[in-house]
Amino acid sequence: MHRLITATTEVVVDASGGAPAILHWGSPLGDIDDSTIARAVERPVARNAIDTVAPLAIVAEHGSGHLGRPGLDGHRPGGRAWSPRFATESAEADGQRLVLRTVDRVAELELLLELELSDVLTVASTLTNTGASRYLLGGLMLGLPLADQAEELLWFTGRWAGEFVVQRSPFTHGTLAVENRSGRSTQEHLPLVFAGTPGFGEWHGEVWGLHLGASANHRMVAEVLPDGRRVVQFGELLHPGEVVLEPGQTYRTPTLYATHAGDGATPASWGFHRHLRARPTHPRSPRPVLVNTWEAVYFDHDLAMLTALADRAAAIGVERYVLDDGWFGSRRDDTSGLGDWVVSPVAHPHGLGPLIDHVRALGMQFGIWVEPEMINPDSDVYRAHPEWALTTDGYEAILSRHQLVLDLANPSAYDHVRDALVDLLGGHHIDFVKWDMNRHHVQASGADGAAGTHAQTAAVHRLLDELRRRFPGVEFESCSSGGGRVDFGMLARTDRVWTSDCNDALERQSIQRGLSMLLPPELMGAHIGPRRAHTTGRTHSLDFRAVTALIGHLGIEWNLLDLSPAELDRLAAYLALHRRLRHLLHHGDAVRFDPVSNGSRPSGQANGVYAADRSEAVIVYAQLRTGDSLTPHRLRLPGLDPDATYGVTLLDPPGLGARASDRQPSWTADGIDLSGRHLAVLGLQLPALDPESAIVLHLERRTRPAPAT
């Protein structure tokens, strides 16, 4: 028995013989010995069932009598070795890390399991073919058991420009399966699921969360077995024949990340956030406010306009200028040029130098967009190397956004792209790369005709790693038509994600809230878009747009040349506010609060950030639609220092719309002092707000008066 323990979580692993199984994943057990744990959780043999109770192994085994979904799916030629049964041969424990070597001598397979508990529990596995024939792998899923009381699931759907949509369903007998075959972690099927006690909320209920750090295809199965046990399994989804292990070869799963909290979904999310913040590569410098040219000029690259945009940006406090799509090859629209990573002589006749010099002279960093995994059939590289496309011979390739995937697992294609990017980054002073990926994989076969998504994804990771090694000062962003590739596999090698192509503040409120269950705010690109959102046609005030983007990694995606002087001033004020608060926003604990719904769709929502030492907080309350009652509810803020007094003020600009201030709660004018306990229990009455507007509350802990002498 092995016990991994932190302040909030304990994982008990039984590796006493057969396949390792987790006996407990939840709150710390305290003072109890191993044999008592084993006896306490020992299950009865059901009537009319198999005579032994099959363990719920981390890699579940049909061969041991588990009749749910097996973890390992594969076989040798002729169908042999299809149902292995592993025995634990060795266990190495080192602090909170455990490595278990398990072997099946009949099937001639070795399975290594690595577990580590810190801010999250990580689990990964490596399968080795120790036999003399090939082993055809269908999948290798890692399963974690959920406590009996985890009776509700929270998972995610979404779409382009509408990512991270939260779904809730009962976790009951049968299976919920989420499968993704798109070649990216996708807008539609984020590899993230939470389970919890019925009705769990942001600050109540026991909650478990699981995320697979896979950047490509994945499968999640949440299953309640006939005997009542609950399990969530996660693994890479492999197409037939995609991974074949020759003798001696290995396959490593993506890492599974798991968090647990006894007090709600917000604290459970902190496990994921803290894990990301502990990465050695986590960006430590203040997140530079950026301007991105996409929704400002699209493909209309003109040096005079681009430099004028830079002037405006610098004048209002922007710190990074990102040149988006359209600077290279024949790329005058989205039908051609992808793959030709040379500066377009039409768009930039004197190269990128004049623009970069201009931007840098204004004191801003320079960033650039690329989409290295793609080619347009109308490109020089495709004309020279049609065999580099990740397609299937004999079929007409299915295009998406006029483009094909480039087979980076092909060493020649990889070298070509790597060299082009090295020339780009080596030849220019570039601080930031927006790495885009804008289509699904369809019938994506490598040079040998076998499914190629697995090898392609490994090559993408390898390429990013190589570029980071060569250019350690450059930051990278993971973009995939917005938030289509947000996962810890990509985040191991990127510094920001482009959350969504939707800059409509109303949509963004829920998109960002969904993603905040996985990412801390500083990794989440949040831009102030144009007055009329390009993806929805909705019009919002600058206040609502700016407050909605305030907490994330702030940017502007709006043609600043269109703004009135008053709008520029107001925008500059928001940028200054963000810069003033970002030490808190990007280092504190991100918090969400349960909306009050009055039985219908909630009309408003609140989220924000508490300083780690609870000395300060910023909360945004957004009125999403007209209220479902005459006046809004009280906002309760659990989790602050109960004994401290907080001065609560409304930050300017307050966004109270046209409503007269004498009809609003008086604290909105001159603030109020309340203790952390009272903020949690009594709460604070929200003002009446117009729909699609928001306010920002600032909480500051009052210094305690010196004790009387």
Residues carrying an active site annotation: 436, 501
Angle at 458 between CA 144 and CA 329, to 5 degrees: 135
Instruction: State which of residues 129, 456, 481, 509 lies at the interface with ligand DGJ (CB under 6 A).
Output: 481
Taking CB under 6 A as the binding criterion, the range among 224-232, 267-275, 405-413, 479-487 that sits at the site for ligand DGJ is: 479-487
Instruction: State which of residues 152, 202, 325, 589 lies at the interface with ligand DGJ (CB under 6 A).
Output: 325
Assess 478 for contact with ligand DGJ (CB under 6 A): no
The span from the first CA to the last CA of the chain, in angstroms, equals: 56
CB of 501 to ligand DGJ, least distance (A): 5
| Residues 34, 564: Cα–Cα separation, whole Å | 70
409-438 footprint of ligand DGJ as x/- string (CB under 6 A): ---------------------------x-x
- 3-state secondary structure (DSSP) of residue 519: coil
Angle separating helix axes 565-585 and 303-315, nearest 10 degrees: 60
Q: Helices (H) and strands (E) in the chain — how many of each? A: 14, 37
Angle separating helix axes 303-315 and 353-361, nearest 10 degrees: 20
Written as six digits, the tokens of 402 are 């006029």
**Residue among 481 and 541 whose Cβ is closer to ligand DGJ:** 481
**Residue among 116 and 163 whose Cβ is closer to ligand DGJ:** 163
Residue carrying the six token digits 């009050």: 596
CB of 555 to ligand DGJ, least distance (A): 11
Angle at 184 between CA 406 and CA 112, to 5 degrees: 105
Judged by CB under 6 A, the chain residues 579 through 608 that form the site for ligand DGJ are none
5-34 footprint of ligand DGJ as x/- string (CB under 6 A): ------------------------------
**Residue among 251 and 369 whose Cβ is closer to ligand DGJ:** 369
Assess 558 for contact with ligand DGJ (CB under 6 A): no
CB of 338 to ligand DGJ, least distance (A): 9
**Residue among 158 and 687 whose Cβ is closer to ligand DGJ:** 158
Assess 324 for contact with ligand DGJ (CB under 6 A): yes
CB of 90 to ligand DGJ, least distance (A): 47
CB of 341 to ligand DGJ, least distance (A): 14
Q: What values do phi and psi take at 539, rounded to 5? A: -110, 130
CB of 357 to ligand DGJ, least distance (A): 23
Instruction: State which of residues 498, 544, 593, 646 lies at the interface with ligand DGJ (CB under 6 A).
Output: 498
Instruction: State which of residues 171, 234, 369, 414 lies at the interface with ligand DGJ (CB under 6 A).
Output: 369
CB of 483 to ligand DGJ, least distance (A): 9
In terms of Cβ atoms closer than 10 Å to its own Cβ (0-12, 13-18, 19+), residue 456 is buried
Q: In what order do the strands lie in the sheet with 2-5?
A: 2-5, 10-14, 21-26
| Residues 86, 81: Cα–Cα separation, whole Å | 12
- Torsional class of 437: left (φ above 0), alpha (ψ -120 to 50), beta (otherwise): beta
Per rule CB under 6 A, count of chain residues that contact ligand DGJ: 11
Sign of the alpha-carbon torsion through 190, 195, 200, 202 = negative
In the DSSP assignment, the letter for residue 34 is H
Burial pattern 200-210, b for ≥16 Cβ within 10 A else e, equals: bbbbbbbbbbb
**Residue among 125 and 215 whose Cβ is closer to ligand DGJ:** 215
Taking CB under 6 A as the binding criterion, the range among 372-380, 443-451, 477-485, 631-639 that sits at the site for ligand DGJ is: 477-485
Q: What values do phi and psi take at 509, rounded to 5? A: -55, -45
Yes or no: say if 66 and 53 are a contact pair by the CB < 8 Å rule: no
Yes or no: say if 355 and 379 are a contact pair by the CB < 8 Å rule: no
269-308 footprint of ligand DGJ as x/- string (CB under 6 A): -------------------------x--------------
Residues in the site for ligand DGJ, rule: CB under 6 A? 294, 324-325, 369, 436, 438, 479, 481-482, 498, 501
